Structure 1
Amino acid sequence: MAILRAARLAGETCQPRASMRALAATLRASASPSTSSRLHLESWDRLRVVAALDTVFMHFTGDHAFFGWGLPLFLLLSVALGVSKPQAPSTARFLERRIPRILLPWAFWAVVFVGLRALSCWMSGLPPFGWLEPSMLFYGPRIHLWFLPFILVAGLAAHAAHRAVGTSKIAPVVALGLAGLAVLLAPAFGVSEWPYAQWIFSLPAIPLGFVLGRALAFERSLPRLRLLLATLLLAFVGLGVIAWGVDEGSGVYAFRHAGGFGLLALATWLPNRADPYTRRLTPLMLGVYILHPAVYGWIVKPAMCLVEVNDVRWLRVALAFPATMLLVWVLRKTWLKRFL
């Protein structure tokens, strides 16, 4: 119908050149579908909240709320969505989008936290910057900030692979094998110091996130995407079992990454409908990740100590998580929104 309307326009108008250009544009649009569209999965947005809750629970209690699947969820989503378009953007365009979203908030809050800790040291009679270490350039003045520069590098690595292989359907299969190999080899590094141990743990998420993103790019039909992700999950679980059999230390890596991938695959079977709560909560999760230790240390912990309930671990999360969401929501109403 669009072609017929364009042809009719070409016959009726008194400007034949403009009409022919309109007809040609319509024909091109009809002949080649958009290469930039992809499925938007509302359930994946909800999993961001689950990931944030699991991470906060771990930081405040030493245990996980969801079996430690929160960190892999964050990693897989970030890497996958960066390579989920059929055609890779230019590297300049990729960085133009990622740096304001990831590196700029990291740099801003790193400066804020350095300033606050320096002030605290000075008020206590200690050297204001005596605690700084050169290695903090790689993760920041608070250990949990390691995630942001890492995910920028991880996303850039996946983007480079996307640029190199284009629309090849063999590349995700190779990447799946690399993810299994990373699960097997990661424990061999023997690193236990934070945040370096977290970097090593997160390495399998780069190829696995690439697999997830390319699956999303190839399949725009939700039923076929469900089956594809289920197949990929079973294949990765098989690789994880093999790695676990070779080295028992690989079991935790395989379990947590497979769990994160499994939640994403399972979520595609839920109704893909938007709801007002997810739309409001999801944009807060980056700010929650950045600010939750500060909110707990400066607000929640003093209040809990005051009423002598600081040893109730679950209560730390029950108070700090919504308090941080509220603070982030307020700050996002100001000029600080660009850093959250």
Structure 2
Amino acid sequence: MAMTAPQDYYRRSIDLARIAAALGIVWAHAHAPGRIVGYVALSLFLVLTGFLAVQSLQRSKGRFTWLARVQRIAFPWLFWSLFFIAVDSATADTPRPLLSDPWSLLVGSTIHLWFLPFVMLASLLVPLLVHLVQTPRALVVACAGLVLISPPLLWAQAFVPMPVPLPQWGYALPPFIYGILAAIGHRQGNALLPLGTAALISAITFAGAPMFWAVQMLLAAVLFEVLWRVELRNQAVAALGKLAFGIYLVHPFFMLVTYKLFGGGVNAAFAALLIFAMSLVATWVLRQVPGLRRVV
């Protein structure tokens, strides 16, 4: 039984959520006041990635082309890996040795690129879960499974020494799967079940590790549901949403530019906003250049 997409399934508030998540990640990486919001921003980014992947599957009427998705993600990953290698070679006193760690093949040339190989592999779960979770009962079973796997993954990424990118992937998998199940729940008219699942996961995780990151799943889920219900008609929001992915990819370069211009003592909030603004403009420019649109 294939799910059908209601006409109002896509909402511009999703684009607002995407650009807000990108800003939150930049804010955290710039060590701006309240940088702890970066946990929620990253989790929201992952929820949206899973949610939008289901949308993509629905637009293709069930013909999920995983290899096409891999190619779409692999090209930016390779491009930005080479770009940051060049930047590192040009600016670092001692450039990092290439491929000194085999795990770096699952990251790229700079740590924030871990997100792209993760999405390439995790996208395999999208058609699998959409195929398996087609009834309310199946959604209950899937949510129960997410409750079972999420706290151990979240505890492990915080407390178990692991090579990069395994801690990042352990942190990312629960909200990514949540995004998939939230999309399925919305289509079944049952958004509360995934939301309750997020609450239970956060409660269990917090009981074992009473820290802010332990409740990131619930906070991201609530923020997503709130934004989902916001009615927006402004075309500018949709345009901004398309820039979120590029902002995430390019912002480390503009962090370097900002600190070169203003020094390490620059006001962190000012730096975060400047980095975000430059990354936004750069992404927009790249999207206007034939051939470079694919990298952002």
TM range (shorter): 0.7 to 0.9
Counterpart CA distance in 1 for 2:51 and 2:3 is 20
Matched with 2:209 is 248
Matched with 1:258 is 218
The correspondence of residues 102-181 of structure 1 with structure 2, limited to 5 A, is 102-120=73-91, 129=97, 132-163=100-131, 165=132, 167-181=134-148
State the 1:275 CA deviation.
0.7
Alignment: residue pair count: 287
Give 3-state SS (helix, strand or coil) of 1:274's partner.
coil
1:121-159 alpha-carbon deviations (Å, 9 max, x no partner):
6xx5x5774574322110111101111111222222232
**Is 2:282 aligned against 1:315?**
no
Counterpart CA distance in 1 for 2:185 and 2:40 is 21
Q: 1:36 to 1:42 in 2, by over 3 A?
A: same
Identical pairs, percent: 24
Residue identity matched to 1:75: L
Matched with 2:191 is 229
Higher relative contact order (CA 8 A, sep 6+): 2
Q: 1:100 to 1:296 in 2, by over 3 A?
A: same
Structure 2: stretches of 5+ with no match in the other structure: none
Give 3-state SS (helix, strand or coil) of 1:293's partner.
helix
Matched with 1:238 is 200
Higher-Rg member (1/2): 1
Query: Which of 67, 80, 84 is the equivalent residue of 2:51?
Result: 80
Structure 1: stretches of 5+ with no match in the other structure: 1-32, 220-227
**Is 2:178 aligned against 1:212?**
no
Give 3-state SS (helix, strand or coil) of 1:167's partner.
coil
Residue identity matched to 2:67: L
Counterpart CA distance in 1 for 2:98 and 2:243 is 33
Matched with 2:152 is 185
TM-score (normalizing by structure 2): 0.85
TM-score (normalizing by structure 1): 0.75
CA RMSD of aligned residues (A): 2.8
Q: 1:36 to 1:43 in 2, by over 3 A?
A: closer
